[in-house]
Amino acid sequence: MQLPILTDRPTPGQTADGLVQHLPGAARSCDRVPLPMTIGEARDRGWDEIDVVLITGDAYVDHPSFAMAILGRVLEAAGFRVGIVSQPDWRSCDDWQRFGRPRLFFGISAGNMDSMINHYTANRKVRNQDAYSPGGRIGLRPDRATLAYCQRARQAYKGVPVIAGGVEASLRRLAHYDYWSDKVRRSILMDCKADLLVYGMGEDAIIEIARCLDAGQTVGSLRDMRGVAYAMGASESPPEDARGLPSYEQVRDDKWQFAEATRIIHDETNPYNARRLVQWHDRQAVVVNPPALPLSQQAMDRVYGLPFTRKAHPSYTEPIPAREMIKDSVTIMRGCFGGCTFCSITAHQGRIIQSRSQQSVLTEIRDMAADEGFTGVVSDIGGPTANMYEMKCTRPEVEAICRRQSCVHPKICKLLGTDHGPLIQLMKEAREVPGVDKVLVASGIRMDLARRSPEYMEQLVQHHVGGHLKVAPEHTDARVLDKMRKPANVDFEGFREAFDRLSQEAGKRQFLVPYFIASHPGSDLHAMIDLAVFLKRNGYQPDQVQDFIPAPMDVATAMYYTEMDPFSKQPVYIARHLRDRKLQRALMQFFKPENYFEVRRALEQAGRQDLIGRGCDCLISDKPPREALEARRQDANRRFRGDFVHDPTEDQRKKKKKKGKRKESRYEPGSGYRPKA
């Protein structure tokens, strides 16, 4: 049974039921073992050959929150022998040859995150932790991991099909702006040379690819599948029905063309009406087929009901931070119709909500409660957003032709079903499972939706908050919020008032933890100063500051690069220079003494000296605190070290002494800008 090809016009509300829905059910807990990571483990299963070798930049955690675990399990359930190669040494082909030549294909993924976002902060500094690596160690994957992994797969066994996927490949499937090199890069297909790229959530696609190759078809015959992209040869012509994008050369040289390409790409994301896209790169065309259809509830139940151990592979001796954070969480849905311009979830998972059945979720919670290591607390019951469970368009025939970017901006669509009833019932039954003491909500709450259901708010506050609840108002300035596609700040204030009132009525001491973004397109110093004043008036002192990072393919990234809105083509203010970003970041933590001088510089630059002094709204005093002076002195010492101040000739002597000697590098040769492990 094959997936619908592009000549099959999808009907309103149609789902991808053909493959995943018919997978076998989960094994008993005692029968659950991880997929093999060595040839010895494969032989213990009686396998003398591997069908599919999956390469991932993450540690192998057999939990449904990790994409490679899901893909490996659905292939296994479909009858294929799967080997996992986790965080291979990309400096040689040895790890790619660990299982011998795969019979069908290599599946390549950089991991759950884009490798560049995983490696670097918004200030382009190397991060000191990789949450997806044992012990949080850095340096276990290369920059642009998809490129290195595909190259090694080609070298290891010539002729074996290479299928790229994952977030990094999905968001770089067409020409895109790369923040870390500050330039427009080609489609990742042009550089990684993969035979096929699967974008989005790929369960059905990876099964179909395996079955077709197993039946003797060539990888070239799979180009009609939904949810795939491919690069054509220089002598090939793209399909006639494809909608043309500005070419790579055009978007590289003309920012207006880049903005226009972004508009077209995001217009073609609804699987019920999306058209095939084509973008020329010199004499080669990259073709992107329409997105895969959403999974039905039955298919979702099959995927999340597979025999995951929910643990890291036993070969690891150190904890994996990402696993520790989500080990007791339960995913109840995927997708998001919020369409926030700075978020990649909609671009990757789609805006159509795909929900599991209540029975499927409760079965998973019962299995968790039966585990001897379970603490009694379900750390999260949610998904990309906590309260979109089973929400959908009430008019499928309208959904089939809709090209709206967000169902909730600039206001909630009147056709959107926002009933919280199914979610309320699921939450009630979840906390009544024997062995469960508490069911928390840690996923982000869509506050404008939550306020529509007083019963949901009451249940949430009374039973599902562990002292603190994370929410994401993101900003206070109306213009910035509009560029983000987020509701006005009055929505957050209304939610906060209801939360505080309900917490008081329940006799609980509970607090909101709001998240805000600095340096987002449209946010200037005046907007950030207003945000800082709002934080002071309401007693918020954020421990962590979220800096805007231009991720590939996001609408906000197009704004950052082009300095215009890709839909209206109107100019947008951008805090492009590092000094401007530092000022915005400091304003969000104006209360820290070490930020005093930067906050003062920002206030003086904006002409807001009225906020310097001892007034109620003043952000800083007129005299720097002792801690600020000490921090500035220590920073000066770090910068200048003091050597040349006392003896300039000593520095020259040291240079002459070292002349001719190779300086030891922090970085491995040939590995790019990567620190040693």
Q: Which domains does the chain have, with CATH numbers?
A: 20-235 (3.40.50.280), 328-466 (3.30.750.210), 629-656 (no CATH)
Percent of the chain having pLDDT more than 70?
90
* pLDDT tens readout for residues 83-109: 999 999 999 999 999 999 999 999 999
Residue 409 above 80 pLDDT? yes
Could you identify the residue written with the tokens 């997929």? 35
* pLDDT tens readout for residues 350-379: 999 999 999 999 999 999 999 999 999 999
* pLDDT tens readout for residues 489-504: 999 999 999 999 999 9
- Which residue from 71, 407, 46 is spatially nearest to 207, judged by alpha carbons? 71
pLDDT at position 646, please? 46
Residue 474 above 60 pLDDT? yes
* pLDDT tens readout for residues 12-68: 667 765 566 666 655 444 468 999 999 999 999 999 999 999 999 999 999 999 999
pLDDT at position 518, please? 97
pLDDT at position 211, please? 97
Going by pLDDT thresholds of 50, 70 and 90, the confidence category of residue 321 is: very high
Cα separation, 586 vs 575, whole angstroms: 14
What are the E-state strand segments in 134-200? 162-165, 176-178, 183-185, 196-198
Q: State the CB neighbour count (10 A cutoff) for residue 25.
A: 10
| Three-state secondary structure call for residue 369 | helix
Residue 543 above 90 pLDDT? no
Residue 312 above 60 pLDDT? yes
pLDDT at position 638, please? 73
112 Rama class: left (phi>0) / alpha (psi -120 to 50) / beta:
alpha
297-304 and 203-214 are packed helices; what angle lies between their axes, rounded to 10 degrees?
80
pLDDT at position 20, please? 66
pLDDT at position 675, please? 41
pLDDT at position 631, please? 82
pLDDT at position 670, please? 42
pLDDT at position 83, please? 98
Residue 589 above 80 pLDDT? yes
Predicted model pTM: 0.91
DSSP β-bridge partners for residue 511: 468
* Lowest mean pLDDT, pick from 21-25, 398-402, 446-450: 21-25
More confident residue, 21 or 227: 227
When the pLDDT of each residue in the chain is averaged and rounded to a whole number, the result is 91
pLDDT at position 669, please? 40
Percent of the chain having pLDDT more than 90?
86
* Lowest mean pLDDT, pick from 5-14, 390-399, 598-607, 613-622: 5-14
Residue type at 416 in one-letter notation: L
- Burial (0-12, 13-18, 19+ Cβ within 10 Å), 235: exposed
pLDDT at position 544, please? 80
* pLDDT tens readout for residues 624-659: 998 888 888 887 777 665 444 444 555 555 555 555
Residues sharing a CB contact under 8 Å with residue 112, sequence separation 6 or more, in sequence order = 58, 66, 67, 132, 166, 167, 322
Q: How large is the average pLDDT for residues 458-465?
A: 97
pLDDT at position 18, please? 53
Check: CB of residue 581 under 8 Å from CB of residue 569.
Answer: no
